[in-house]
A = this chain, B = another copy of it.
C-alpha cells in the first residue's frame, strides 16, 4: 500500500511553546490547561462528546526531526527500539494523549493535563472508554525500573529538528 494522506482537523493550544520543558506524558502535566481549536467545519462531529470526562487526542509530532529506529528515551540512559518507547522520532510521527475534557464551546474544547506542544496539528479525537482502553499488564519492559521518574521528567529537546 502506498502513501496515506491525512489532513489536520484542528490545532492544540497549550502553555508549552517548544518541546524543551514540555511534560512527556499527561500524568506529568497535572492541571495544565489547554484547548483544542477544532476547525469549524468539523464541529458537528463533537455532538455528545461532552458526556465523556476524558478523551484521546491523536496528533502529528510536527517538530520531530525524523525517524530513528533506535533512540534513548527521556527516562532511560540506554537506547531502545522506537516501537518500545513513546518518543516522537517514529517512522510515522503520531502521538496519543489521554486528557481531561473540561468543556466544549462550539468548536473549542477546553482540556486539562495537557502534555502537547502549542501549535501541534490534531488528527483525531476519540472518547476514552475504560472498557476499551484499560488493561492490566503483566510486564512493561524497561519502563518497570524507570516509570517512577515520570512526573519529574520533561522533554529536553533531544528529538527536535
Contacts and interface: CB of A to CB of B under 8 A. Distances in A.
A6 B6 contact: yes
Interface string A19-55: 0000001110000000000000010111111111111
A6 B4 contact: yes
A80 interface: yes
A137 to B, nearest CB: 5
Contacts of A82: 45
A135 B147 CA distance: 16
Given A4-B7, A27-B132, A58-B92, 9 more contacts: A25-B132, A42-B83, A45-B70, A48-B142, A96-B126, A127-B143, A129-B143, A131-B150, A133-B133
Interface of A: 1-9, 11, 25-27, 42, 44-56, 58, 60, 62, 69-70, 79-86, 90-92, 94, 96, 98, 121, 123-144, 147, 150
